[in-house]
A and B are shown apart, each in its own frame.
Chain A
Amino acid sequence: MIAFGCAVTRPDVYRECAAQGIRRAAEPDSVVFDGPSAGTIFESYNALLDRARELDGLEALVLVHQDAEIVDADFGAKLRAALSDPDVGVVGCVGAVGVRSIAWWEGSVAQASFVHRYDEHGGGDLPAFSWAWDEAPPYARTGDVDTLDGFVLALSPWAVRELRFDESLGQLHGYDLDFCLQVRAAGRRVVTADFRAIHNHALEPFSDPEEWIRAHMAIADKWDGRLPGVGWAPGSWRERALIAEAETDAAKLTGHSLGLAHLAKVRELERALEETRTSISWRLGTPLRALERRRAATG
């Protein structure tokens, strides 16, 4: 039996996103835990682990963010295939190798089978690189990774029984990397599988950079030296500090450059729109456009 769990803080979002996907992916005997969040995501997920542990015949616990929607109707079959090796502790659809920090996307991303759906500026979809496998780049693959993105995590019965989310790490960030590192430290596997999800998310990565930074530091301190690569970088601490400070300023500068380029692009488009709407042919076409609108309105 595959169970689903969600820490709900916004019931409307849950209904529109996660609940839709769970309905699609669930099987007749599936259990769904969709109660209100129990504090931090670490605490909420531990509460879900406690409840799932009591279930007889548990094959997997799927933890879904309230704004994530699983899109595969055959999700169960794909998940069972991924969990057929008992060494697999956790499964996801987005993962990377060479991960050194909670910024897992700074590692070598191996699979990203999701769409980032946003509401800003009229809304839109940003399909990640392995959303459509026939268009995926050569490095896209399912299989072993260092860590998964936590928006959909499927835990094996072993992981549900033996592991906990580390509540000392903060409120929200880094729970997924830390959990995956626990799985690997216990000698189990972290893998991606061929299922897909839509992540309905604002375009900004986090609203609280300081909390994200603290989580980054805490996890680096916790895991440095325990698993290869995590919290590590070449050079002495002094060299690392000076290089990272330089690269921080470089990232800000890159942001300013991109902002200028976009500003220029926006101006170019606004200019083109203005020229279109003030042209003689636009004015001449006004009656015809009105007619077109009327025809469209009446079907």
Chain B
Amino acid sequence: MIAFGISITEPDPYRRYAEPGIALAREPDSAVLAFAAVGPVARTYNLILDAAAARDDLEALVLLHPHTEISDPGFCDAVRAALRDGDVAVAGCVGGSGGRSIAWWDGPVSCAPMIHRYEELGGGETTAFAWAHPDRAPADVESVDGMLLVLSPWAVRELRFDERLRRNWGHDVDFCRQAREAGRRVVTADLRVIHHHPLELVDEMAVWVDAHVDYAAKWQQDELSEEQWKRRARRAEAEREAERAIAYSNALIQDARVAELERELAAATGTLAWRMTEPLRRANALRRRLRN
């Protein structure tokens, strides 16, 4: 039996996205473990793990974010295929080998075909994680993204999310690391979803930074001397400011592209010919409204 687990903070996105996806993917005997969010997401997930672990017939537990919509009716077959090797503990639709941090995408990334759907600027969709230049799943990775986590029965029974990581970022990377530390595999697989998400990838960056530090502090294993820490800090502070400058200049370049298109549009719609045909466009718009 493949179970689905969700931590629900707000019912609306669950109803709009996760629920229809589960309805598409589930099998007649599938359990849906929809729990109200309590504390950090790690705590709610552990409650779901406890509930799933009690099921003797469990083949897999699919933990998904309320904004994740499964888009493949053959999803359960893909889950079974991903977990065929008994060493696989966790599978996901996108993941990477970023290594040292919760920024798992800061390294080789692999991804199933998936869509990022947004509502800003009139709405639209784009290939999810295209900015990370992913290879096509499947692949062994260090971590998968928590928008969708497929856990093996072993993972459900033997591992727990670390509730000390209280900032709701990094719990996925930490869980995957626990699995790998136990000698198991973490993989991406052909698990197709639509990710309903704003264009801004992280809304509270200061919280994300704190989560990054918490995770690094937990797993920091190097015994560094004061001088080694100093060199590492110097390097990191320089890289930080370089990255900020690069991000800013990339935004300027993109702004320049937008300005170029705005000029082109203004030129196209600023002609006498365009202004003279305005009544025709208004009449057409009215006709469309009446028809609808």
Q: Chain A: residues with CB nearer than 8 A to chain B?
A: 101-103, 105-106, 118, 120-122, 124, 126, 203-206, 209, 212-214, 216-217, 220-221, 233, 236-238, 240-270, 272-273, 276-277, 279-282, 284-286, 288-289, 292
Contact = CB atoms under 8 A, between A and B. Distances in A.
Contacts of A248: 236, 239-240, 243
Interface in B206-256: 208-210, 212-213, 216-217, 220, 224, 226, 229-230, 232-256
B201 A257 contact: yes
Interface in B186-212: 199-202, 205, 208-210, 212
Sorted nearest first, the 7 A-B pairs with minimum C-beta distance are: A285-B273, A281-B277, A246-B212, A244-B236, A255-B247, A262-B254, A216-B238
A281 B247 CA distance: 41
B257 A241 contact: no
Given A266-B261, A268-B122, 4 more contacts: A103-B242, A217-B238, A245-B100, A248-B240
Nearest to A254: B247
B11 interface: no
B273 A209 contact: no
A244 B126 contact: no
A269 B242 contact: no
Contacts of B200: 257, 260-261
Interface string B139-155: 00000000000000000
A245 B237 CA distance: 7
Given A276-B268, A276-B269, A285-B271, A260 B199 contact: yes
Contacts of B274: 276, 281-282, 285
Nearest to A237: B229
A272 B118 contact: no
A245 B216 CA distance: 9
B273 A204 contact: no
B209 A243 contact: yes
B251 to A, nearest CB: 5
Interface string B80-94: 000000000000000
A262 B255 contact: yes
A267 B220 CA distance: 43
A212 B244 CA distance: 13
A37 B212 CA distance: 45
A292 B284 CA distance: 25
Q: Interface on chain A toward B: helix, strand, loop, or mixed SS?
A: helix
Contacts of A233: 233, 237
B15 interface: no
A58 B83 CA distance: 79
B209 A241 contact: no
Contact of A250 (B120, B124, B212, B278): B212
A115 to B, nearest CB: 13
B31 interface: no
Nearest to B254: A262
Nearest to B103: A249
B54 interface: no
A237 B233 contact: yes
Interface of B: 100-103, 106, 116, 118, 120-122, 124, 126, 131-132, 199-202, 205, 208-210, 212-213, 216-217, 220, 224, 226, 229-230, 232-265, 268-269, 271-274, 276-278, 280-281, 284
A269 B209 contact: no
Nearest to B274: A285
B259 A124 contact: yes
Contact of B236 (A241, A254, A265): A241
Contact of B276 (A118, A247, A273, A288): A288
A250 B205 contact: yes
Contact of B280 (A101, A217, A263, A280): A280
A248 B238 CA distance: 9
A124 B240 contact: no
Nearest to B272: A292
A216 to B, nearest CB: 4
B246 A209 contact: yes
Contact of A213 (B226, B239, B254): B239
A241 B200 CA distance: 26
B176 to A, nearest CB: 17
B216 A253 contact: no
A284 B201 CA distance: 43
A216 B244 CA distance: 14
A261 B238 contact: no
Contact of A261 (B120, B232, B272): B120
B256 A121 contact: yes
- Find the residue from A105, A241, A267 having the highest chain B CB count within 10 A: A241
